[in-house]
Chain A
Amino acid sequence: MVLVLIAFPLSIDVSQYDLNKFYFSIIVISLLMISFLATESIFSEDYEDGSLEQIYLEEKDFYKVALTKISIYVFFIGIPMSLIGSVFSFANGVSADELPKIFVVLLFSTLILFNLFAFGSALSLNKGAMLGVLVSLPLTLPVIVLLGRAVRTIQYGEGFLEVLALLLGVGLILMAIMPLIISATLKTHLE
């Protein structure tokens, strides 16, 4: 993520473009890529070494495992990514007052993205990542649209809380439901 955010402004003539206006899009694209790459093998190691079978024998489903793994990813990858994205926004003309808003928007977005890509990863277990991408990527498009809307509300100062509440609500619903779906998906792979 850092590489993309540093390389991008260096690769274009900043005098011709107003970097502030579209830099956030670069952050969103980086977030998308990182979320996909980070969750690509979230379950594959446990599947390949047989740990999933042992977990199933103890727990009879994978809900707790899926929820715990996604939470850990959000905590250890999502929070730093959101911080980095906020800092780079600041470095590109966003005022200091708006930094906490950007951080929170990015954090709630990673909550949603990690859930979606974790589902794609569970679906494509042992079958190549392309299946997961084909399923997850369309589901992330509404999130990207919502992120764009959130940025506009930060820039113009209206409706930010409403969009934030929507992001948080969707994120929490996915955190509750997606591990159920992932659990069923992982079980079918064990069959």
Chain B
Amino acid sequence: MQLITANNLSYSINENQLFHNLTFALDSGSGLHVKGGNGSGKSTLIRILLGLTSPTKGEVIFPEPSPFISYLGHKNAIKQYLTPLQNLDLMLDSSSLESAMTWMRTLGLARVQDEMTATLSFGQQKKLALIRVLSNPSDLIILDEPFVGLDDSSRDLLSKFLSARLDDGAGLVLTSHIDPQVSCDELILREKEDV
């Protein structure tokens, strides 16, 4: 089943064309690793796929019914004045909370679950934000630089989780400067060279 289709996507900003006539489709069980240099439009492409940003040209098509999407971008969407437990309660349905608690223990956050999120390190906050993706039974996972801030063991865990979700039939789109170690097709966005 096709989870997402992009037709002739183009995006320009301030007379700068980031990408032009991108066309691709993502099936269940397949992944897409979007690569490119800084400013090449990776995050913008992700935001266009999610509908957060409108393309200059082209369209993104989802099947009916729309797939359940989990997304983690540059912002973690966690509340600094709540504890990790309270944040999970806010983020997730009751059906996903048990899975979230298991991930809290696996990622070493159980010992800080009752501390203010503001007191956690960048990496710990990133792990907390990732639990939304790890716990939700999503059809399509979209991640923008998910490995930034994670220690080696957490990166391995995340790579294994993503591979397992692909085997289960989920779709994956991610951007990463770090090799995700997940079997994915590649889409390379090239930065325009200065003339």
Whether A53 pairs with B52 at a CB distance below 8 angstroms is yes
Instruction: Decide yes or no whether A16 CB sits under 8 A from chain B.
Output: no
The one of A48, A49, A51, A190 in contact with B52, judged by C-beta atoms closer than 8 angstroms, is: A190
Whether B76 pairs with A50 at a CB distance below 8 angstroms is yes
Instruction: Decide yes or no whether A14 CB sits under 8 A from chain B.
Output: no
The complex places the Cα of A191 from the Cα of B76 at a distance, in Å, of: 18
Whether B76 pairs with A57 at a CB distance below 8 angstroms is no
The complex places the Cα of A48 from the Cα of B51 at a distance, in Å, of: 18
Instruction: Decide yes or no whether B9 CB sits under 8 A from chain A.
Output: no
Whether A191 pairs with B52 at a CB distance below 8 angstroms is yes
Q: How many A-B residue pairs have CB under 8 A?
A: 36
Interface of B is mostly: loop
Q: Chain A contacts of B50 at CB under 8 A?
A: 53, 57
Q: Chain A contacts of B74 at CB under 8 A?
A: 50
Shortest beta-carbon distance from A181 to chain B in Å: 19
Stretch with Cβ within 8 A of A (4 or more), from B14-22, B77-85, B101-109, B185-193: B77-85
Instruction: Decide yes or no whether A54 CB sits under 8 A from chain B.
Output: yes
29 pairs, A vs B, C-beta closer than 8 Å: A48-B75, A49-B75, A49-B76, A49-B77, A49-B79, A50-B73, A50-B76, A51-B77, A51-B79, A53-B50, A53-B52, A53-B71, A53-B73, A53-B75, A53-B77, A54-B77, A54-B91, A54-B132, A56-B52, A57-B50, A57-B51, A57-B69, A57-B71, A60-B51, A190-B52, A190-B53, A191-B52, A191-B53, A191-B54
Which residues of B line the A interface, CB within 8 A? 50-54, 69, 71, 73-80, 91, 132
